[in-house]
Amino acid sequence: MGGPRITIVGASLAGLRTAEALMAELPGARVTLVGDEPHLPYNRPPLSKDGIEALAQGETPETEVFDKLVLRSKLAPGQVEMRLGTAATGIEGGDVRLADGTLIRSDWIVAATGIRPRRLALSGAMDRRHVLRSFDDARALAAGLRPGARLVVIGAGFIGCEIAATARKLGLHVTLIEPAPQPMLRALGARVAAAMAAFHRRHGVTVLTGRSLERIEADRVILDDGQAIEADLIVEALGSLPNTEWLAGSGADLGDGVLLDARLIAEGTENLLAVGDIARFANPLFDAVPRRVEHWCVPGQTAKRAAETIAARTRGEDPAPDFAPMPSFWSDQYGLRLQAFGAPTLAETQTVVEGDLSRIGAAPVIVEYARAGQLVGVIGLGANPATLARHRARLVAALAPSSPALSSNVTA
């Protein structure tokens, strides 16, 4: 008799890392990896940076650009079954139904379907409007990134700001439109966000904050204050939505992603787990509030935890009680590496502990973030890795000072 039948739905970073972790924990498991894209699992963060730049310049064949994005895997050929180019449409009797009608028998299901971009609820100029999530999105956008073209980016989160920076490097005229008072405000807080806005302006980007789109016309966009901005190209970078529709009827709470317990088993289910961007769980490093965290580190962290849970349950055991992943993220803009640890979004105060925010890009800056006097995050801008590592260690000590068990379970 073989090992458990495990179906992972979503063949990107989270799905692939889950398959690897499962095979390491349960070599006899029968794992099927399902993905709606025809491509092999690939790395998405570079798409808004080197990816679209290389595609736009056209000096490197598209196949070579994609090959650099393909995720290197520890899986041996044929170790797991891959069903690429076919989406999952639902769960029936604890098994996974695919769009082609196939029913995959499953003892465990791992949802790793990630997120998709939000779209503007406006009509017009669909041939010039883009989002960026997939390689195919990047290829379509790159075709219009020509020197002298007028690009309007709607939404100044990390994706929008990275696209703006890449487009400026390619010689485009860029306008960045953000409804909030500053770009990247939620992630960075007011002071750092304002400094980053100034950084973008120094690089020639027109940054319009507190503004939203009213309508889209043939060759321009109209803002809510009546201002008209010429646009050859429009990028919608308005955040994301979790891909959970296929889980309707599973019994899981899908209010915002998939609500999970500390084992990463979906509340209200017996054999459904979730990993990556759709996973909503409480992190005891901060509090008991379940949250989704759309950072590159989360797929690997949740993949390992999901595999531990399935392996433990297969052996008739329970996994370790604590799951305390340390969130981290980074962004590259104009050659500046912004790197963060912890949860700066939860902070009430920001303190510059090294450098000067007015000199972002010219000298290293480190900012600490606190809530109720408790350190909850740290961000480095152009910071030395060794220096930033010391601040990360200080953060870990502050978040788990009285619990050796919890501290030992903090995962990078």
Helix 135-142 and helix 50-57: axis angle, to 10°?
50
Query: What is the model's pLDDT at position 405?
Result: 46
Q: Which two tokens stand for residue 297?
A: 């580190």
Q: Alpha-carbon distance 105 to 108, whole Å?
A: 9
Protein fold of 119-238 = FAD/NAD(P)-binding domain (3.50.50)
Domain-by-domain residue ranges, the chain?
A: 5-116+241-324, 119-238, 335-411
What is the band of 320 on the pLDDT scale with cuts at 50, 70, 90?
Answer: confident
Separation in Å, CA 185 to CA 16, 179, 192, 273, 347: 32, 10, 8, 32, 12
Query: What is the model's pLDDT at position 401?
Result: 65
For the domain spanning 5-116+241-324, the CATH number is 3.50.50.60
261-294 pLDDT per residue, tens: 999 999 999 999 999 999 999 999 999 999 999 9
Q: Alpha-carbon distance 236 to 251, whole Å?
A: 33
Question: Read out DSSP for 105-163?
Answer: --SEEEE---EEE---S--S-GGGEE--SSHHHHHHHHTT--TT-EEEEE--SHHHHHH
- Fold agreement (5-116+241-324, 119-238): yes
Protein fold of 335-411 = Enolase-like; domain 1 (3.30.390)
CA torsion sign, 345 to 346 to 348 to 353?
negative
Which is higher by pLDDT, 233 or 401?
233
52-68 pLDDT per residue, tens: 999 999 999 999 999 99
68-123 pLDDT per residue, tens: 999 999 999 999 999 999 999 999 999 999 999 999 999 999 999 999 999 999 99
Tell me the CB-side half-sphere exposure of residue 6, using CA atoms within 13 A: 34
Give the percent of the chain with pLDDT over 90: 93
Backbone angles phi, psi at 19, to 5 degrees: -60, -45
12-49 pLDDT per residue, tens: 999 999 999 999 999 999 999 999 999 999 999 999 99
What is the band of 136 on the pLDDT scale with cuts at 50, 70, 90?
Answer: very high
Buried b (16+ CB within 10 A) or exposed e, 213-244: beebeeebbebeeeeebebbbbbbbbebebbb
Average the pLDDT over 346-353 and give the result.
96
